[in-house]
Amino acid sequence: MRTVPIMALAHHVWYGEFCVVAPNGFSFCADTLTRMVAMIEQPYTPTNLSRRINFPDKCKNATLHDSLIRKKIGTASSQRIIKGLAFSSGLKVFGLGKKTGYGFSDISDTIIARLLAKNIRAAYPATQSHRQFLISNTVSIMKECLAFNAFRYDIQNFYESIDRKLLLERLVSDGRCTWQTILLIQRLFLILDIYDVPGLPRGLAVSGALAEFRLLDFDQTMRHNNDVFFFARFVDDILIITSERCEEKSFDKIVVENLPEELCLHDGEKRTFLPVPAIHQSKKKNASIQTYYTLSYLGYKIRISNNTTRDNALGNLRRDVLVDISDNKIEKLKTRLINSFTNYLASRKDHNDFRLLKNRLRAITGNYEIREPNTKITIKTGIYYSYIHKNTHIDCALIKLDNFLRNLLFSNYSSLSLRIIGALTKNQRKELIGYNFSSGFKNKRFHSFSYRSFETIKRVWL
């Protein structure tokens, strides 16, 4: 049986009956090594690549329902990798909100990128926390009656600012990814250089995995800080709750020093420092006037009270924390309503156009399911499921949104409302006002849309 030095493994792939010898004399078969690597990464075989073709792909291209077609694409993708031609189909550009998004011109490159992302996450299993999980933990911590400081930060142009060279150097030095994954990342970065794309391109499956890797050290450092009670990061949005000992300027300096060198934080309204005083068991020590300390995070407005609730945990008082939809999300929902109506006004206003308008209002004010492309898990979303932690009727966001919708349909005080009144009959407007935010949230009103139908519905929101 042949033997090879283990140091060579970073640059070679081994097949057959090789025996690997470690510096300490321990040896094992390459078959064993292959099984060890397979536990971490999936090889870039035609079968594994074809499995990256997901449900939305099939909806956009009906031929992909044919298993033979998918197999053929998987084989073509594998051949691209073998020949060193991965990601050679080129990039296409599209709007992604206010940012620029990118995609590959050929599905073969798309599925290579998806498997590449899966393997990066396998090598670095610390995945992005779920938004609702972060909010649940945030509110729970804030209910404690002890004094604390809350810091909120936002990274400027997160994806676009990441230094690809530094990222690749770190991946190579870590040695946790296989050589083939490293070579594919190098190939991708070469293509991005040719197209003059800054940082990591939004819209590619692999960008999220690489961005999470770039902030891995930062996340771990902040979590291990002795003064940090709670650390949460959702992409570029960071919330840190610390002891009251942490002063604003000194802690800001710690955060900036530990952030990857090429990244910068926003100033102004996207940076918040909130010192929250303790609530004492004795009411005499507390302020008699109700005060709220307010911050926004991940689409929620969180108001932290200087008073306690009637509830207690193990005999300890709990702080009153009010959670509602954030002001910027309210404006976003209003914009979706306006865009839905203006699109109808620009249409032929026939039966199909009215049905589309009605479906858009159902989606905005209600709840529906979407299917996560990679895991194929069905996710419930909408006005209730997106803001499930909302717990207050004080200055309620839902009432504000309902009033705004009612004014659009029945008010005589704006030019848009007058145009809507002129374009819709009274009965049509009465039908539409039946879809309101309060009932959508309170009753968890649920609607079903096909994938193609929902693609049309959301087109005017992007």
Does the pLDDT at position 203 exceed 50?
yes
Does the pLDDT at position 6 exceed 50?
no
The CA-based angle 115-9-30, given to 5 degrees, is: 85
* pLDDT confidence of residue 449: 87
pLDDT digits (tens, 9 = 90+) for 84-103: 999 999 999 998 878 999 99
In the three-class reduction of DSSP (H, G, I as helix; E, B as strand; rest coil), residue 330 is classed as: helix
Give me the residue label for tokens 């995995």.
209
398: exposed, middle or buried (C-beta count within 10 Å: 0-12, 13-18, 19+)?
buried
* pLDDT confidence of residue 313: 58
Does the pLDDT at position 265 exceed 80?
yes
- Give the integer Cα–Cα distance in Å for 174 and 120: 12
Non-local CB neighbours of 411 within 8 Å, separated by 6+ positions: 417
Does the pLDDT at position 140 exceed 50?
yes
The answer to whether residues 206 and 113 touch, using CB atoms and an 8 Å cutoff, is: yes
Query: 153 or 34: which carries more pLDDT confidence?
Result: 153
Q: Tell me the average pLDDT of the chain.
A: 87
Q: Phi/psi of residue 200, each to 5°?
A: -105, 130
Does the pLDDT at position 17 exceed 70?
no
Does the pLDDT at position 34 exceed 60?
no
pLDDT band, residue 311 (cuts 50/70/90): low
Does the pLDDT at position 431 exceed 70?
yes
pLDDT digits (tens, 9 = 90+) for 148-189: 999 999 999 999 999 999 999 999 999 999 999 999 999 999
The answer to whether residues 137 and 241 touch, using CB atoms and an 8 Å cutoff, is: no
- Give the integer Cα–Cα distance in Å for 74 and 385: 36
Q: Which residues of 349-358 are buried (b: 16+ CB within 10 A; e: fewer)?
A: eeeebbebbb
324: closest CA among 250, 417, 392? 392
